[in-house]
């Protein structure tokens, strides 16, 4: 029987992203019904996507798993999916930036921005479940067969160390931003 594969943390992270997507769906309904945006909600979503979904989760994929797969002779299908995932990560970053930009327009009084905000949120809500399903069912498990158990264990340890550094990275950034704004 196989030991725990390094994809365990990545799949756990997917479950938390799915919970945030459910919250986003509810908030979209509120926005559509009340014809208003809660800017603080957009900031929470942007922070979650940028830091957790992208920097933490996609960071481990790109900086660890994809890097190690790049050293292997993998099938054309797996290479194609990996490249698709990289492009999807870029799309998520761009869409999140557009969401923050639209929030800024809304806060400056452009009430028409609510349509753009809802469209962008709907795009993210539609995107993440498909992206997660692709990773969970068509990529993560099959590509683990390219690695020995020792290589899997090494990646798992590297993922753990990656996570340990992130909290410090996040709060150093927050302090630097506070110093710039208030110091």
Q: What are phi and psi of 26, to 5 degrees?
A: -65, -40
* CATH assignment of the domain containing 151: 1.20.120.520
What was the pLDDT predicted at 3?
45
Q: Angle between the 76-107 and 39-47 helix axes, to the nearest 10 degrees?
A: 150
Question: In this predicted structure, what is the pLDDT of residue 170?
Answer: 82
Q: What are phi and psi of 6, to 5 degrees?
A: -60, -15
Residue 115 forms part of a structural domain? yes
Assess if residue 151 is contained within a domain: yes
Q: What is the pLDDT of residues 155-170, one digit of tens each?
A: 999 999 998 888 888 8
CA–centroid distance for 5 within its chain: 20
Q: Is residue 161 part of a domain?
A: yes
Span 2-25, average pLDDT? 79
Q: What is the pLDDT of residue 67?
A: 97
More confident residue, 174 or 116: 116
In a domain, 165, yes or no: yes
Across residues 17-36, what is the average pLDDT? 96
Residues spanned by the domain of 162? 7-169
Over pLDDT 70: what percentage of the chain? 96
Residue 11 resides in a domain: yes
Q: Is residue 152 a part of any domain in this protein?
A: yes
Domain count of the fold of the chain: 1
pLDDT of residue 8: 67
């Amino acid at each position: 029987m196989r030991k725990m594969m390094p994809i365990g943390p990545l799949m756990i992270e997917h479950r938390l992203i799915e919970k945030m997507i459910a919250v986003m769906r509810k908030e979209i309904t509120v926005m559509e019904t009340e014809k208003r945006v809660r800017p603080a909600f957009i900031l929470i979503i942007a922070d979650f996507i940028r830091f957790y979904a992208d920097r933490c989760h996609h960071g481990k994929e790109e900086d660890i798993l994809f890097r190690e797969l790049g050293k292997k002779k993998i099938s054309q299908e797996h290479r194609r999916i990996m490249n698709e995932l990289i492009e999807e990560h870029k799309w998520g970053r761009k869409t999140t930036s557009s969401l923050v930009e639209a929030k800024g327009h809304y806060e400056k009084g452009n009430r028409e921005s609510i349509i753009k905000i809802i469209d962008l949120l709907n795009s993210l809500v539609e995107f993440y479940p498909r992206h997660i399903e692709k990773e969970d069912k068509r990529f993560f498990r099959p590509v683990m067969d390219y690695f020995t158990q020792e290589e899997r264990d090494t990646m798992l340890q590297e993922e753990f160390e990656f996570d340990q550094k992130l909290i410090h990275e996040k709060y150093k950034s927050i302090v630097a931003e506070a110093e710039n704004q208030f110091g």
